[in-house]
């Protein structure tokens, strides 16, 4: 069996490896370190958790052991897609370079430029950075890349697939053509591999396992889930997640829960905390100090559940992760390999469970096609759709209130009937009152008729004298309104016609 002492590494580097407790290299390390020490370009492809970081860290330290960096001119450069991965690479350099007098700087977003500028001004041997922050320093005139001798791109496929291609091309253009280039990743799609050929010169390709394979010591499963109703689907899915966690019991010591969207990360973390689960979110929109604190708490065992976006799927090394829950099926099949690679690391056993909804079936098929095997189905603990009271983990909304039915208004319109024994007295009272009411109405009618007869006659005479009646008749027969412009006969009554109110007649009589 190959040992680190057989790889021609620097003696001080070997001493640090021995103190870290490692004796034998992993297959990717045994394959990549010798050509890297020879100065050749390397393209390394291996599963997650197989030690790819040490595959480029150890030869870089051995090559940089001699020499000294000049101000603002780093001697080596490591590019990482996320801040967390960059910080992890920096920790590896600290572990293996403690007996070497080499300096490093970590350039990531969310941290003050001032502290980073101080390190660069002193001169650094190893510069670890994310592309955006690296270019920010270069544009501010604080960085010169013309002295870079070794350049590493970690998680190369994601770097080239996440929209970093323009930045990567620009950074490569700023470095010397004679540099040594190392590319490492767990997956390497054919179209991405064609792009890497423009950056690598006759590389040594080390492919330890078939691309996009998952570790055999990770037990995988998928739950097919369909909500009972569209408005209850999200809450039912969160309940399903809690049931899956509970079903694992004590075996689930800690877990990473992956969501596709940052918004869902916050919602799921908040829901788990509400039900007594020790959970916290981590995604790109959070402040860097909060992300670092959350990650350290999870690594230290203070936090049990880490709800994350794909920012945590790449390269994060937490050896003791027992479970990975995919709350969503990843949009890119390659991300599935990286997600479940957070468990089962360094030969340990792990378990990965995914929730698949009907709308995720196409992405799920892509995942199975990529890993080239059928993922076992797990029985849905929810079973059939349950009432909202049992599945909802959110307060009832206003639209959940009972709706008014038409029967209520009908009942309100109906007169309330009296009991049977009360009907007869009421009828007798009504009959007794009826003759009195009829007499009163007759008297009123008689009075009004007597008054109205002479008044109507006088009003008619006044109208004939004044000629107003003829004018009103003309208006009613031939008067044109706005509606007549459209053509046709207008039968609308204009004016008062023959039905003249009494008060008009009275006023005319008084004037005469």
- pLDDT given for residue 77 in this prediction: 96
Integer Cα distance of 151 and 172 in angstroms: 9
- pLDDT given for residue 401 in this prediction: 45
Check: CB of residue 262 under 8 Å from CB of residue 282. Answer: no
- pLDDT given for residue 34 in this prediction: 94
Integer Cα distance of 133 and 77 in angstroms: 13
Q: Is 343 exposed, middle or buried (0-12, 13-18, 19+ CB in 10 A)?
A: buried
- DSSP-assigned states of every residue in 244-280: HHHHHGGG-S-EEEE-SSHHHHHHHHHHHHHTT--EE
pLDDT lower than 50: segments of the chain: 384-435, 437-452, 454, 456, 459-460, 463, 465-487
Check: CB of residue 460 under 8 Å from CB of residue 499. Answer: no
Rounded to whole angstroms, what are the CA distances from 96 to 14, 42, 114, 307, 393? 8, 21, 27, 31, 48
For residue 378, give the nearest of 323, 446, 451 by alpha carbon: 323
Instruction: Reduce the DSSP state of residue 180 to 3 states and report it.
Output: strand
Q: How many CB atoms lie within 10 A of CB 115?
A: 10
Q: Return the bridge partners of 305, or none.
A: 255, 279
Integer Cα distance of 268 and 128 in angstroms: 33
- pLDDT given for residue 444 in this prediction: 42
- pLDDT given for residue 136 in this prediction: 94
**pTM for the full predicted model:** 0.62
Q: How many CB atoms lie within 10 A of CB 494?
A: 15
End-to-end CA distance of the chain: 134
Domains contained in the chain, CATH given: 4-207 (3.40.50.300), 218-393 (3.40.50.300)
Place of tokens 């008297």: 443
Q: Is 233 exposed, middle or buried (0-12, 13-18, 19+ CB in 10 A)?
A: middle
């Amino acid at each position: 069996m190959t040992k680190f002492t057989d790889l021609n590494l620097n003696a001080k580097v070997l001493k640090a490896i021995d103190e870290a407790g490692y004796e034998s290299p992993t297959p990717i390390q045994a394959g990549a370190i010798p050509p890297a020490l020879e100065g050749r370009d390397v393209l390394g492809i291996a599963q997650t958790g197989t030690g790819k970081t040490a595959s480029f860290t150890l030869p870089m330290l051995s090559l940089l052991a001699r020499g000294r960096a000049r101000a603002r001119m780093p001697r080596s450069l490591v590019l990482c897609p996320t801040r967390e991965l960059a910080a992890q690479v920096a920790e590896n350099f600290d572990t293996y370079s403690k007996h070497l007098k080499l300096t490093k700087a970590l350039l990531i977003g969310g941290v003050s430029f001032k502290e980073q500028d101080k390190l660069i001004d002193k001169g650094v041997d190893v510069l670890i950075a994310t592309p955006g922050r690296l270019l920010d320093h270069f544009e501010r005139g604080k960085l010169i890349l013309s002295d870079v001798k070794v350049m590493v791109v970690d998680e190369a496929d994601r770097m080239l697939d996440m929209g970093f291609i323009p930045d990567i091309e620009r950074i490569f253009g700023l470095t010397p053509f004679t540099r040594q280039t190392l590319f490492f990743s767990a997956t390497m799609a054919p179209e991405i591999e064609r792009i890497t050929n423009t950056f690598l010169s006759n590389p040594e390709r080390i492919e330890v396992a078939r691309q996009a394979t998952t570790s055999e010591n990770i037990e995988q499963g998928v739950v097919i889930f369909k909500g009972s109703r569209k408005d209850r689907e999200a809450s039912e899915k969160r309940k399903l997640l809690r049931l899956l966690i509970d079903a694992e019991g004590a075996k689930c010591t800690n877990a990473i829960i992956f969501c596709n969207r940052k918004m869902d990360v916050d919602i799921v973390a908040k829901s788990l905390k509400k039900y007594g689960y020790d959970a916290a979110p981590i995604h790109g929109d959070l402040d860097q100090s909060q992300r670092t604190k959350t990650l350290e708490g999870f690594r230290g065992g203070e936090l049990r559940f880490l709800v994350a976006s794909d920012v945590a799927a790449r390269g994060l090394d937490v050896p003791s992760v027992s479970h990975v829950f995919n709350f969503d099926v990843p949009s890119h099949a390659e991300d599935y390999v990286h997600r479940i690679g957070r468990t089962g690391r360094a030969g340990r056993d792990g378990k990965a469970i995914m929730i698949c909804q009907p709308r995720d079936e196409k992405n799920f098929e892509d995942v199975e096609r990529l890993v080239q095997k059928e993922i076992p189905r797990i029985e849905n603990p929810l079973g059939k759709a349950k009432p909202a009271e049992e599945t909802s983990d959110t307060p009832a909304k206003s639209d959940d209130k009972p709706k008014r039915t038409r029967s209520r208004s009908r009942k309100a319109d109906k007169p309330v009937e009296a009991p049977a024994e009360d009907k007869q007295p009421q009828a007798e009272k009504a009959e007794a009152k009826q003759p009195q009411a009829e007499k009163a109405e007759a008297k009123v009618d008689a009075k009004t008729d007597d008054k109205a007869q002479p008044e109507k006659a006088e009003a008619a005479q006044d109208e004939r004298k004044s000629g107003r009646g003829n004018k009103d008749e003309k208006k009613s027969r031939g008067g044109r309104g706005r509606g007549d412009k459209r053509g046709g006969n207008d039968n609308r009554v204009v004016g008062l016609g023959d039905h003249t109110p009494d008060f008009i007649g009275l006023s005319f009589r008084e004037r005469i």
